[in-house]
C-alpha cells in the first residue's frame, strides 16, 4: 500500500523560473562550508523547462529522470551531517499527523480526497484525469510535472501536479528517508492552511490501485510582472510595497501556526492577475509544537540564507525566514542580490561578513526597513510584527491587518461560549 501523502515540490514553477524575473545559477565549485542539502536543492530549483512540449506522455503522468539522486553520492560523514538536518522532518510529520487526526487544521472546508483515478479523453481527444481536461504543461518540479487542466464541472483552470509513487519511494533524500517523506510532509502542511496569500490545495487524487497520484492546486493565472525585464531593473517602491505586504501577511500566518517556510524567495512567490502575491513551495518547510523553532541545518537557497544559517550552528527558523524576506525586498527594489559571490563559499562569506550596501539617496524609511530586515544579528533583526507596522510598509494603506483565521475564530468562539457569552460568540461566527 502506498502512503497517501504528496507534495507540490515547487509551486512557484507553475509559470516561470522566477516570478519577479530573478534566478540563481549554481556554480559548480567546491566549498569549505560543511555540505548540507544546498547543492541538490539549487539543482531542483532550476529544473523548470520553459519549453512546452505537449507531446510528451510523461508530462501528464509525472515521470522524472531516474538518475536524480539526493544523498547517494555523499560520504559516510556527509550522510551523517545530512541526517542531522533531516531529523526535524520526522518530528514535523509526527506533529502534522497529530494535528490532522485531532482536527487541528485551519480550514473551514477540508481538502477533497479522491481515491479513484479515471484516465480518459474528451470528445476532442484531449487527455483527462477524472473531471479535469489537460491543456498544456506549465512547469516541472523536483519530483513531478505541473500541468494546466480545466475542470468540466466548474470550468475553472487548475494546476495539477502529477507523481509516480514508485518513483518517490526509490528516491533517497537521506540514508533512512525517501522523497515520499518530503512530499507527505508538504501535503500535510498544505492541507492545514487557508490564507489569501498562500497557494491553496484543492484536491488530492490517489488511487491505491494505480501508481499515479495528483495534487490539484489553484491556478495562479497572473503574469510575472518582472518577466523578461532582467535583474538590472527593480519593481519600484509602490509595487514592492504591495507585494511585501502580502508576503508578510502570509508568512505571519505561517509563523502563527508554528510553520517555518524555509525557502522564501521570489521564485516561490506567485502573483495573481490582480496583483496578489501567494506563497508556494513548502517542500522544505518544518512544523513545531510551540514557539521553539530551533533548527540545525538550513535547506534554503544560498543567496537567501541568513548569516546564522551559514555558520552551521543552531538557529531560529522564523528569524531566518525574515532575513529571506529582506533579501527578497532588496531584489524587488534594486533588481540584484545583496550578497552574491563567485562561489558558494564566497557567497556565504559575504552574507556573514560583508556590510549591507544601499544606494545613496534611498528613501530613509526604506533604508531603515532593509537594514532592520538584513541585520546580521538575529536577536536584533526586525520581527514580522515590527515590519507590519513599519512606516514604509504602512504607507497610505495603513498597518498590515491581522488575519483572523478559521482555527482562531473557532478558538475565540469556544472561549466566549465557555465564558457564557453565547450571543456574542454566535455573532462573531456570522
Q: What are the residue numbers of the active site? A: 263
Backbone dihedral angles phi then psi of residue 111, each to the nearest 5 degrees: -65, 135
Rounded distance, CA 175 to CA 136, Å?
A: 36
Task: State which H helix or E strand residue 141 sits in.
Answer: none
CB 182 within 8 A of CB 9: yes
Beta-bridged to residue 150, according to DSSP, are 133, 157
Q: What is the DSSP string of 254-305?
A: HHHTTEE-S--SGGGEEE-TTS-EEE---TT-EE-SSS--EES---S-GGG-
- The reply, when asked if residue 161 is annotated as ligand binding, is yes
Sequence-separated (6 or more) residues with CB below 8 Å from residue 85: 36, 37, 295, 296, 297, 298, 299
Rounded distance, CA 39 to CA 27, Å?
A: 9
The 3 state secondary structure assigned to 72-135 is CCCCHHHHHHHHHHHHHHHHHHHHHHHHHHCCCCCCCCCCEEECCCCEEECCCCCEEECCEEEE
Sequence-separated (6 or more) residues with CB below 8 Å from residue 353: none
Rounded distance, CA 334 to CA 370, Å?
A: 11
Backbone dihedral angles phi then psi of residue 405, each to the nearest 5 degrees: -80, 175
Burial label, 128 (beta-carbon count in 10 A; 0-12, 13-18, 19+) = middle
Residues in the annotated binding site:
161
Residues in the annotated binding site for ATP:
161
Amino acid at each position: 500500500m502506498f502512503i497517501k501523502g504528496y507534495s507540490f515540490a515547487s509551486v512557484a514553477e507553475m509559470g516561470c523560473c522566477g516570478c519577479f524575473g530573478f534566478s540563481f545559477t549554481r556554480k559548480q565549485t567546491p566549498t569549505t562550508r560543511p555540505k548540507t542539502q544546498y547543492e541538490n536543492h539549487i539543482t531542483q530549483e532550476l529544473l523548470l523547462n520553459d519549453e512546452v512540449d505537449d507531446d510528451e506522455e510523461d508530462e501528464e503522468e509525472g515521470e522524472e529522470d531516474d538518475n536524480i539522486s539526493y544523498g547517494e553520492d555523499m560520504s559516510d560523514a556527509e550522510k551523517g551531517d545530512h541526517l542531522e538536518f533531516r531529523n526535524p522532518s520526522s518530528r514535523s510529520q509526527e506533529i502534522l499527523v497529530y494535528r490532522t487526526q485531532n482536527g487541528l487544521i485551519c480550514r473551514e472546508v477540508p481538502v477533497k480526497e479522491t481515491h479513484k483515478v479515471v484516465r480518459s479523453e474528451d470528445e476532442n481527444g484531449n487527455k483527462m484525469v477524472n473531471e479535469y481536461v489537460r491543456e498544456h504543461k506549465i512547469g516541472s518540479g523536483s519530483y513531478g510535472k505541473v500541468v494546466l487542466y480545466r475542470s468540466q464541472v466548474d470550468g475553472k483552470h487548475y494546476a495539477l501536479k502529477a507523481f509516480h509513487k514508485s518513483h518517490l519511494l526509490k528516491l533517497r533524500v537521506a540514508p533512512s528517508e525517501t522523497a515520499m517523506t518530503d512530499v507527505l510532509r508538504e501535503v500535510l502542511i498544505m492541507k492545514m492552511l487557508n490564507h489569501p496569500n498562500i497557494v491553496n490545495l484543492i484536491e488530492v487524487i490517489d488511487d491505491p490501485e494505480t501508481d499515479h497520484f495528483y495534487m490539484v492546486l489553484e491556478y495562479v493565472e497572473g503574469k510575472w510582472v518582472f518577466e523578461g525585464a532582467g535583474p538590472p531593473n527593480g519593481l519600484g517602491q509602490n509595487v514592492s510595497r504591495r507585494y511585501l505586504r502580502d508576503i508578510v501577511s502570509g508568512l505571519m500566518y505561517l509563523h502563527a501556526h508554528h510553520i517555518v517556510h524555509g525557502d522564501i524567495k521570489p521564485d516561490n512567490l506567485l502573483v495573481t492577475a490582480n496583483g496578489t502575491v501567494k506563497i508556494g513551495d513548502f517542500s522544505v518547510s518544518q512544523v513545531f509544537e510551540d514557539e521553539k523553532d530551533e533548527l540545525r541545518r538550513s535547506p534554503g537557497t544560498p543567496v537567501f540564507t541568513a548569516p546564522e544559517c551559514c555558520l552551521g550552528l543552531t538557529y531560529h527558523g522564523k528569524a531566518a525566514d525574515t532575513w529571506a524576506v529582506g533579501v527578497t525586498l532588496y531584489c524587488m527594489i534594486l533588481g540584484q542580490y545583496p550578497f552574491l559571490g563567485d562561489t558558494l563559499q564566497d557567497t556565504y562569506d559575504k552574507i556573514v561578513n560583508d556590510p549591507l550596501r544601499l544606494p545613496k539617496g534611498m528613501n530613509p524609511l526604506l533604508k531603515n526597513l532593509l537594514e532592520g530586515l538584513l541585520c546580521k544579528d538575529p536577536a536584533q533583526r526586525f520581527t514580522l510584527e515590527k515590519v507590519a507596522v513599519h512606516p514604509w510598509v504602512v504607507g497610505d494603506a495603513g498597518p498590515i491587518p491581522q488575519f483572523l483565521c478559521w482555527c482562531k475564530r473557532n478558538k475565540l468562539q469556544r472561549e466566549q461560549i465557555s465564558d457564557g457569552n453565547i450571543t456574542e460568540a454566535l455573532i462573531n461566527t456570522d
